[in-house]
Amino acid sequence: MHIVCSDLEGVFLPEIWIKFAEKTGIAELRLTTRDISDYYVLMQRRLGILRAHGLKLPDIQAVIATMEPHEGALEFLDWLRSVTQLLVVSDTFAEFAGPLMKKLGRPTLLCNTLTVAPDGTITGYRLRQKDGKRRVAEAMRSLDYTVTGVGDSYNDISMLKAAHHGILYRPPDNVRAEHPSFPVAEGFAALRRMLETILAD
């Protein structure tokens, strides 16, 4: 049996923090796991920026409410779920992702959670588990699934390595250059062809 473990932002959705950076004009919020490999360092930087500018969870959620899936994402997901199982594995937060999951047809999502004060201030976050993407791929392998990992960023690499098959989806040049062993899909049509080949084995 096959299962696909896929990242969310950068694959099916735009990057939430980049959209929020565009709305607020705070350029440093554009940094993502495509730029900084250490998730702890990235999140501490983000939380510090939010505190400095007095930005709260409702401010981010208002931007999220305007976001739409990438063109072709829904059609791709409909096809994928018609031929195999899918787990979306993300370092985003449940407080961000809820409305977006509805727009994607509610695929199963494994992600993290925020800690939020009564006034909406984001005070921290809780990881579902450390290196959760890798551990999901390993767990599925332990259940005798043939696992294909799909992702675009540094924080996806351990999942891709743990899977039987790893695919980079439209990665930035730095991630592509540092991990040349993974095949690269530059769009949903290419990703579908790769998965069709894997599923046919």
Catalytic machinery residues? 7, 9
8-state DSSP, 49: H
Beta-strand runs (E) in the chain: 2-6, 85-93, 109-116, 122-126, 146-151, 165-169, 184-185
**End-to-end CA gap in the chain:** 11
Q: In what helix (H) or strand (E) does residue 58 lie, and over which residues does it extend?
A: helix 57-64
Residue 70 carries which DSSP code?
Answer: P
Provide the edge-to-edge strand list for the sheet that holds 85-93. 122-126, 109-116, 85-93, 2-6, 146-151, 165-169, 184-185
Query: What does R_g of the chain's alpha carbons equal in angstroms?
Result: 17
Phi, psi of 105 (to 5 degrees): 85, 20
